[in-house]
Structure 1
């Protein structure tokens, strides 16, 4: 009985924290580092750790704030079903927030400032903004800040991180808008708008893709000589860009995977906006963050980082079949 009770308790916490969704988090920091032109390093691991803690703090706080609503719409959730005490969920949210800020502080003042803004946005969303018109924008800001945290923590040019952060924020805005109807359904406009957003983001990922970008962590320009010996004995100029990897095919493949993961369930939800199909569309949108992060890294000229990020997708799909991410 003791082992069975312990297993049931562990299962309840896995459901509360929606652990399969954690696979969508490391890509934020990795894409941020790639956009900043920085090699993933121990400081990037601090950013990932901070992001994971703050993400899970938001999950625990979300259910604590939604107790009354879940008691009606989702009585099987850990809090309304009595499997986890509300006080324990709130304590977990607070402890995880402190842990996330502590990890960010190890990387310096700037990462701590971004992590502090991210934590404030998480708590503001769950406690105040979620049911207001500003709710989806707040959630979008959390993902944008999370990607920015990766760029700031890893080093490099932080200004270059902004376009990637805005792209991820736009996707999050669309998914969050759809999620507002996942328990009751009834609105085809939210999935249609999200579908249009997916199309626009897919197009923006592939257009103007500079195939000559060199990621400083994966191809060091210092190792590429700006001149070489011509067979005739003279020296010819060699543009370092000529030695850069052609990431266009990888960006295109990852963008297509992103579109396929997000668009199909959104189309089904638009045609039949029932709660099950709307929830499936939200789950698809969450899962699509991984190929989107990978595409952003590839577009920044970091193919290895992109492939490492994309490798998280199979695990996310496997575990999401066992525990819902919505």
Structure 2
């Protein structure tokens, strides 16, 4: 076993799509954790990696049939190593959340970790499973706002709902990565993307303490949603026309990468253009790195 094998197990490059969750939540709530908020994206990444390792542990028998090249069925990573890594990363994620956002953030991270484990250890089919998976992204957004108490969580509810909705569409479409999807599912995912893109700029209309005019915030949000809709919607439209396993897989990858421009738009709407610009740069890094392996 090598570090490269472990990196493949946790889909390491795909973690670049995660920090923007808690950043978007923190920006919407006015950065209630102060400088400590910088730790929360690390908590998000740790919990994301935990979920990836646990997913492959739970699916190891199915992967032996459908994806034998993965680290566990190929013999490069032992099952007990993957399970232990998932547990350690989960604990680390909760600990980092406590350091970055205090007791409330630690409690929310515990709920998030529970949702991750519940999804990975349950049958991954049906609307309930999709809803649980989608909730993890919404909870991750709220993690960034947890230090602000109820007021902070209310402020971050909009971004959390939109990322949850996006994740639901991507998750539903991902079910067809091996055997193909249906045009109906692909249309649903495409409609979800359109709804998220249309709604995001309106978050800039809400008053906040950023000091930026609503027009500026709306402009940044509109640019981000335009990039998001173009990248994700194009791949989903192809899946509508030809709902094969290949197009479903490509649309799923685009949906995962599309998290970054969506998070950028949410940061812009919250009045954090500098953070949005820094996160936008990760789009190119994520695209480059994830070409070395699938993030799904």
- Identify the TM-score tier after normalising by the shorter chain: over 0.9
SS at 1:79 equivalent: coil
User: Which residue pairs with 1:185 in the alignment?
Assistant: 180
TM-score, normalisation: structure 1:
0.85
Tell me how far apart the structure 1 counterparts of residues 181 and 198 of structure 2 sit (CA, whole Å): 29
Which shows bigger deviation, 273-282 or 38-47? Answer: 38-47
Matched, 1:200 2:220: no
Q: How many aligned residue pairs are there?
A: 294
User: Which residue pairs with 1:59 in the alignment?
Assistant: 52
User: Which residue pairs with 1:3 in the alignment?
Assistant: none
User: Which residue pairs with 2:273 in the alignment?
Assistant: 303
Does the 8 Å CA contact 1:297/1:306 hold for their aligned counterparts? yes
Matched, 1:29 2:22: yes
Does the 8 Å CA contact 1:47/1:153 hold for their aligned counterparts? no
Whichever structure has more helix as a proportion of its residues is 2
Which shows bigger deviation, 87-96 or 299-308? Answer: 299-308
Tell me how far apart the structure 2 counterparts of residues 202 and 160 of structure 1 sit (CA, whole Å): 19
- The residue correspondences of 1:217-296 to structure 2 (distance < 5 A) are 219=211, 246-296=216-266
- The residue correspondences of 1:86-165 to structure 2 (distance < 5 A) are 86-106=79-99, 107-153=101-147, 157-165=152-160
Distance apart, 1:158 and its partner CA: 2.5
Tell me how far apart the structure 1 counterparts of residues 41 and 219 of structure 2 sit (CA, whole Å): 27
Distance apart, 1:45 and its partner CA: 2.1
TM-score, normalisation: structure 2:
0.93
Matched, 1:77 2:70: yes
Does the 8 Å CA contact 2:10/2:53 hold for their aligned counterparts? yes
Which shows bigger deviation, 294-303 or 283-292? Answer: 294-303
Q: Which deviations, in whole Å up to 9, do the C-alpha atoms of 1:62-104 show, x marking residues without a partner?
A: 0000011111111111111111111100010011011111112
Distance apart, 1:119 and its partner CA: 0.5
Which structure has the larger Rg over C-alpha atoms?
A: 1
Matched, 1:318 2:288: yes
SS at 2:243 equivalent: coil
| Alignment match of 1:176 (pick from 171, 174, 177) | 171
| Alignment match of 1:49 (pick from 42, 54, 62) | 42
- The residue correspondences of 1:9-28 to structure 2 (distance < 5 A) are 9-28=2-21
Does the 8 Å CA contact 1:213/1:300 hold for their aligned counterparts? no
RMSD of Structure 2 on Structure 1 (CA):
1.9
Distance apart, 1:109 and its partner CA: 1.3
* Unpaired segments ≥5 residues, structure 1: 1-5, 220-240
SS at 2:84 equivalent: helix
